[in-house]
Amino acid sequence: MRSRPPAALAAAALLLAALSARAQDSAAAPPPPPPADASAAAVFQRLAPAVVRIEVQESGSRAKSGVGSGFFVSTDGLLVTNYHVVSRLVHRPASHAARATAAGGSWTLTLLAVDVVHDLAVLRASGPAPSLAIAVAPRELAKGTRVLALGHPRDLGLSIVEGTYNGRLEHTATARLHYTGPINPGMSGGPAVTDDGALVGVNVATMGEEVAFLVPADAVAALLARVPAAPPDRAGFLAGMTADLAALAERTMAGLFTPGGPSVALDGYRVPTAPDSSFRCWGDSDGDEDEAPGVRVAVHGCSMDESIFLSETLGAGLARFEHELVRGQGLGRLRLLAALEGAFEQALPFDGTAREVTRFHCRHANLRTAAHTWRSALCVRRLRDFPGLYEGVFRSVSLGVYDAGLITSLTLSGVPFDLIRTLTARFLEAVGSTR
């Protein structure tokens, strides 16, 4: 296939206050910490009862629609997992249900709270919970600290893997910890802990070859501090998620493409490049000055590192842009224009089902900036479940000189409409000339 709270200590304090107000028999009760050099086997034996396999089923057929991991954070039945493991409970609550199983029992799950930005969810298990819970007490670790991740890789049974904590990622819009260890599909939502069983983070993603990522424990503490007494309905979940996504877009995108921002030269054009450290860029060129006449293309593009998971086919919180220089060597102006037109009319780069999104509505216009005249198109569609949020694609083509043209595009997902309009105008104004 598809960023944080500075008040971690305050969130943890709120959580501790909330838990201490419960009946004494519901307090988390971790056993005495083992020696610092505890073996993975010893940690596994201690924590296994608190780590569960979560299965989401289609209610009518009982067909399995998803499997992941989770863990108890209180002995009165609160569990934590990734939002993407249980997302169908938000989008299709009438037709889907979730169960948790562990060596000590089986529980029906009720979704209580979601943090879509950090990919977290809190659920309550029916019936008696294990007498052990994993402590959520955020603390700073030194790089190189051993961390043990638990979960159900590829639904093969509960496993534990050893890895290394390598700090917080510095170039992502959402808060992530870098974990060097073999996290595999099915382990999503499971805990990553220190030798004494304290939560470091929640398994969330992997890039393979032991490059993996965790959601930090302070994000878990912040979500637990605002768990409601009663579960929201579908509309309530979606309203909260919409507000969080709009706030994320404002925080991470509102300052993009301001005058004087970073730029690079692309032949006779000066074009925007990575606005901040959350973007990664690439470049390429086809053809050679000594080749026979034809179309030669140079490309410079940048994209945010990650997209926020909304559903299996929908993401949000992503900005991506690309500049494509088209030079017709000996083609003549008409054939070059035909090549530019073909590149301009590329398919729109989004997934999403008809139930999730509306059809794209496009508007074309001829625009003039200080440096160039453009043929432009802005296409937008609405996210049906997230009122006020849209996906947008902006494309413009300029024929700057006789034998060259620039196609530039900006793609935004899960963004308020007014912000799309603001960013597309800034983006086009940021394209200048080096001549």
- Of all residues in the chain, the percent with pLDDT exceeding 70 is 82
How long a stretch of residues is the chain? 435
**Which two structure tokens, joined as six digits, stand for 367?**
């625009």
pLDDT band at 299 (very low <50, low <70, confident <90, very high): very high
**CA angle 112–116–121, rounded 5-degree value:** 35
Residue 280 three-state SS: strand
Domain ranges of the chain: 8-232, 245-433
Q: Is pLDDT at 294 greater than 70 in this prediction?
A: no
Residues 27, 28, 33, 34, Cα dihedral to 10°: 130
As a CATH number, domain 8-232 is 2.40.10.120
Arithmetic mean of pLDDT, 10-32: 39
What was the pLDDT predicted at 267?
A: 79
pLDDT band at 266 (very low <50, low <70, confident <90, very high): confident
404-416: strand order across its sheet: 279-285, 294-304, 318-329, 404-416, 389-401, 373-382, 361-368
Mean model confidence pLDDT for the chain: 86
Low-confidence winner among 94-103, 143-152, 231-240, 365-374 (lowest mean pLDDT): 365-374
Reported as a single tens digit per residue, the pLDDT across 325-379 is 887 665 565 666 666 666 656 666 778 889 999 999 999 888 888 878 888 899 9
Q: Is pLDDT at 388 greater than 50 in this prediction?
A: yes
How many CB atoms lie under 10 A from the CB of residue 358? 14
pTM metric for this prediction: 0.85
